[in-house]
């Protein structure tokens, strides 16, 4: 009988983590019950939020239990269906985790049309990261034409779409912050950022980053889309304009901290500028996913919205791929190709 | 000829300040030109924002210049008018500063009806502090019935009305934070707070305050109205609920700092709770002052909205009165009675 390889959470590292936090095991391929669907996964998405699921602390969802399969978004092919809404051969997006096979109940499972775009985009620009960019910028960030928009992790799975949507929606100026010359060049030449600041050479010197941001944003900052947190965010806050909006989407620079860093308080910048800072998660917008996907799909088809994938082959490499994210080594949406994609030839 | 005593800003202390930051001088009483009005001041308002006006840093309004009359809200009597909209004997509210006589242009000057309430309330519950409470709680804080509301500086000129408006508007639970047993007793017995936490005995121990807040707010915190900042705010943030709103009105505990304090970053609490933190100043709502004053006046008349004034006599004591605010010694709205109030017998 076929074997299901899967990654379990093996420990809860308090700070920096390595592959030993996970354990690869082999289990029998499960059988679907009435109403269920057996999916053979093709693509696994790796995302910064996963670090939070490895911790046993209050967050917006419960943590992964020790010994349980690591959570994650997947795209795969239905190989057996006991649910009339899905049939063998359907390509579906679900959250089946770090494993080769998974059982879906159909609820929350989304059929993907391979004719529209590569099916892996259902985990990226036409999936959670893309929707996060869309609602985070336009709704939480309340971006309007004429704004100066700053985006951290500017070429990432979320940041990349944010910069381009800001452009499409008439921002006056779109400025990225990213790590390394290659990403910054890509942000400006391919994604249409007006400028991109390479933070990597700055050695966490907030003053130096403030200077670079001031030069790049001569009219101040109206919207800050934050994927990074920590000293990057410290540098943005002093430059926000009256009624600025700061959308807190993620803080990858803080997820590995054992204790919160100490930093100058930022509330003064909110007070003197009547500015707003708001955290969000994409599930808050689940009633509006269709609206977002329609507009985003149109932009992808017309070529206005570009995306980039960073593919690691083989489920056995999933922990390594997650580590890439936390080292900033990924360039574009981090994916694991669990097996060859049958829809791409 | 009559003499106009007035307080000038004499220096810009970087941190803690004392009376030497100000200089009392005598000048001739000015004469109104066409369109202007000469006002003999009766009441002077002292407010935390004045500390910011003593600094030469970017804020929402320019600083007071060295050698210029200190800014401040006043209520006085028109003694000479060259503006048809005002006549001798009118009681008016204006921002004429720390002085006995001032010239108004009529613009921004508000006639006060002594029959409605004591005229000093035009600087308190029926003036800027009251409006700040009203719009800050209901608009920025978006308070709704059933919320748990926490207010710092709970018995102050702003905090006092905030707690009572929360009660009137159907908050499930209203919890104050104030300094000393007398203020906390007053908050619960007179203002209708469900509980009030005395921070003074806690020696800036955030953990102790978190514990007290957790006990006082068993269902978490939906709205935090912040007048204080610093370690008080650090203790509130870990307890906010999903979609909580934090209205940043002031941070009196930080205004005397020469350098920003270092503190654990708070953005994580916003992210995991999809919570919002927003700074504001009351001038953002100037188009809606009438609406606020109408509702607030009704509550004052019906006795639902109580207020308390802390009166210091004599313009010569204005610096001392401002210092009282920063030591938390005031109990209620801090006022200076420049001369006997002719409308009170």
CA distance A97 to A72: 4
Beta partners for B102? B39
Q: Which of A227, A267, A284, A285 to mutate to test the interface with B (most CBs of B within 10 A)?
A: A267
- Per residue in A312-329, pLDDT (tens digit) is 999 999 999 999 999 989
pLDDT band at residue A203 using 50, 70 and 90 as cut-offs: confident
Cβ neighbours for B40, distance < 8 A, ≥ 6 positions apart: B76, B77, B79, B100, B101, B339
Residue A64 has pLDDT above 80, yes or no: yes
Q: What is the mean pLDDT of chain A?
A: 95
- Per residue in A105-120, pLDDT (tens digit) is 988 899 999 998 999 9
- Per residue in B293-306, pLDDT (tens digit) is 999 999 999 999 99
- Per residue in B159-206, pLDDT (tens digit) is 999 999 999 999 999 999 999 999 999 999 999 999 999 999 898 999
- Per residue in B88-126, pLDDT (tens digit) is 999 999 999 999 999 999 888 999 999 989 999 999 999
pTM here? 0.94
CA distance B308 to A229: 43
User: What is the SS3 string spanning chain A?
Assistant: CCEEEEEEECCCCCCCCCHHHEEEEEEECCCCCCCCEEEEEEEEECCCCHHHHCCCCCCCCCCCCCCCECCCCEEEEEEEECCCCCCCCCEEEECCCCECEEEECCCCCEECCCCCCCHHHHHCCCCHHHHHHHHHHHHHCCCCCCCEEEEECCCCCCHHHHHHHHHHCCCCEEEEEECCHHHHHHHHHCCCCCEEEECHHHCCCHHHHHHHHHHHCCCCEEEEEECCCHHHHHHHHHHEEEEEEEEECCCCCCCCCCCCCEEECCHHHHHHHCCEEEECCHHHHHHHHHHHHHHHHHHHHHCCCCCCEEEEECHHHHHHHHHHHHCCCCCCEEEEECCCCCCCC
Q: What is the ipTM of this complex?
A: 0.93
Is the Cβ–Cβ distance between A76 and A109 less than 8 Å?
Answer: no
- A58 in B contact zone (CB under 8 Å): yes
Q: What's the burial of B264, exposed, middle or buried (CB within 10 Å: 0-12/13-18/19+)?
A: middle
Nearest residue of B to residue A61, measured between CA atoms: B272
Q: Which of A214, A230, A274 to mutate to test the interface with B (most CBs of B within 10 A)?
A: A274
Residue B84 has pLDDT above 90, yes or no: yes
CA distance B81 to B86: 6
- Per residue in A75-92, pLDDT (tens digit) is 999 999 999 999 999 999
- Per residue in B19-73, pLDDT (tens digit) is 999 999 999 999 999 999 999 999 999 999 999 999 998 777 889 999 999 999 9
- Residue (of B314, B334, B332) closest to B46 by Cα position: B334
- A3 in B contact zone (CB under 8 Å): no
What confidence score (pLDDT) does residue A110 get?
A: 94
Token pair, residue A255, equals 């997820």
Residue B1 has pLDDT above 80, yes or no: no
Chain A residues 192-251 with a CB less than 8 Å from chain B: 226, 229-230, 233, 242, 248-251
What confidence score (pLDDT) does residue B303 get?
A: 95
pLDDT band at residue A344 using 50, 70 and 90 as cut-offs: confident
């Amino acid at each position: 009988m076929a074997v299901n390889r899967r990654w379990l959470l093996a420990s809860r590292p308090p700070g920096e983590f390595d592959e030993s936090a996970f354990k690869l095991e082999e289990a029998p391929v499960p059988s679907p019950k009435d109403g269920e669907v057996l999916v053979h996964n093709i693509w696994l998405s790796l995302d910064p939020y996963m670090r939070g699921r490895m911790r046993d602390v209050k967050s917006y969802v419960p943590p992964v239990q020790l010994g349980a399969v690591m959570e994650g978004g997947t795209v795969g092919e239905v190989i057996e269906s006991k649910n009339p809404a899905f049939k063998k051969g359907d390509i579906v997006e679900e959250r089946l985790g770090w494993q080769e096979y998974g059982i879906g109940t159909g609820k929350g499972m989304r059929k993907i049309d391979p004719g529209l775009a590569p099916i892996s985009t259902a985990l990226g620009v036409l999936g959670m990261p893309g929707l996060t960019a869309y609602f985070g910028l336009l709704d939480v960030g309340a971006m309007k034409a004429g704004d100066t928009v700053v985006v951290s992790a500017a070429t990432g799975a979320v940041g990349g779409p944010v910069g381009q949507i800001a452009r499409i929606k008439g921002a006056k100026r779109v400025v990225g912050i990213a790590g390394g010359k290659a990403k910054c060049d890509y942000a400006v030449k391919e994604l249409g950022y007006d400028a991109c600041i390479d933070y990597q050479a700055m050695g966490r010197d907030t003053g130096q980053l403030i200077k670079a941001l001031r030069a790049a944003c001569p009219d101040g900052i109206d919207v800050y889309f934050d994927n990074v947190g920590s000293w990057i965010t410290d540098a943005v806050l002093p430059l926000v304009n009256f009624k600025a909006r700061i959308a807190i989407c993620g803080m990858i620079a803080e997820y590995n901290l054992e204790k919160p860093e100490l930093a100058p308080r930022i509330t003064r910048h909110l007070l003197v500028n009547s500015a707003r800072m708001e955290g969000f998660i994409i599930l808050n917008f689940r009633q509006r996913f269709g609206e977002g996907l329609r507009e985003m799909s149109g932009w992808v088809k017309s070529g206005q919205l570009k995306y980039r994938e960073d593919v690691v082959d083989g489920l056995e490499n999933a922990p390594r791929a997650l580590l890439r994210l936390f080292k900033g080594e990924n360039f574009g949406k981090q994916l694991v190709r669990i097996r060859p994609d049958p829809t791409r030839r």
